[in-house]
Amino acid sequence: MKKSFFIVMLCLIGVLSTAAFGAQPTVIRVAHVLAETHASHIALLEFKKYCEEQSGGRLSIELYPNAQLGSDRQSLEGVGLGTIEMTMCTGSLLSSLDERFSILDLPFLFKTREAAHQALDGALGDEVAEWLEPHNLVCLGIAEGGYRNITNNKRAIHVPEDLKGLKIRTMENHIHIAAFRAWGANPTPMAFGELYTALQQGIVDAEENPISIIYTSKFYEVQKFASLTGHVYGTVPIIINRTFFERLPEDLQKIIREAGAVCRDLQRTLAYQQDTQFVNDLKAQGMTVNELTSDQKQLFIDMAKGVYDDYRKKFGEESLEKAMKYNSGIVPYRHRL
């Protein structure tokens, strides 16, 4: 009897201690390379709030912006290895894991943001999530990097011929490189951290990025022209380590997935708002900004058909159909000048 009473008392003390002091929360470190003012970081603050509140403090989210834990590539690799729990990175990096992901970089794949959202929240997004699983990654949603546009120091870009001979910095992405070669430019892969100086010193004439990156990186200080080509819809997948995620209780997994959707939707809204505002800000900084007509964009589309043909030869039509079916009957993407 005494022994049983002693055991019961020990259990009771344990329960009371846990209630009094609380169990240690599960920490999720989220790394990304963008500034605290960027839409992605602001949306991650909401992710943090949702997870911590809905879990009653069982989850603790730590945000590491401004490449504090490394570059985009290093963050993605870290999540795969489990040295970091989570990241938001550019979707263009995923093709280094599996060439099928290069579908996200095909030029003019989505005519509108709405078409992109429907595809990425639907069958195409499901497929992307499946492709990530063998790499020990879980996709919580695909946010928006914004449409990529061209800046340069030579002339406004209206048609592919205007790119002829321009030395343009691109990402180390074979789809981007192939497209710019097809348009007559001289694509030059270069690390993003080297780009501002390269533009300043004339090592390259041009670059291409979403408007938010062009503005927050102050490229208006070293570039004269911004042409709203919208040649690629940028994606920002929200990714968590699969081993870590699947070890969590199901209720916490559910909260994290819900928070991922909240983060994705808010980020898209903010990204569009910032994109629109920053166009006006670029003008205020003295850049000459022009937008292409539908006919001018069609010239770029026609000249990039070979890039699509190469993708089809490697991977067939199925994924492309999932991506493009939402374009039918939709007004083409146009920027609000």
Q: Is residue 43 part of a domain?
A: yes
Domain ranges, residue 87: 23-327
Q: Is residue 3 part of a domain?
A: no
Model pLDDT, residue 22: 55
CATH code of the domain in which 123 resides: 3.40.190.170
Model pLDDT, residue 160: 98
Nearby residues of 308 by Cβ (< 8 Å), 6 or more positions away: 106, 320
Q: Is residue 13 part of a domain?
A: no
pLDDT at 330 over 60: no
- How confident is the model over 249-265, as a mean pLDDT? 98
Overall domain count for the chain: 1
- Name the pTM for this structure: 0.84
CB-based contact 34:41 (threshold 8 Å): yes
Q: Is residue 257 part of a domain?
A: yes
d(CA 288, CA 225): 5
Q: Is residue 278 part of a domain?
A: yes
Nearby residues of 126 by Cβ (< 8 Å), 6 or more positions away: none
pLDDT range class, residue 7, cuts 50, 70, 90:
very low
Q: What's the mean pLDDT when you consider all of the chain?
A: 90
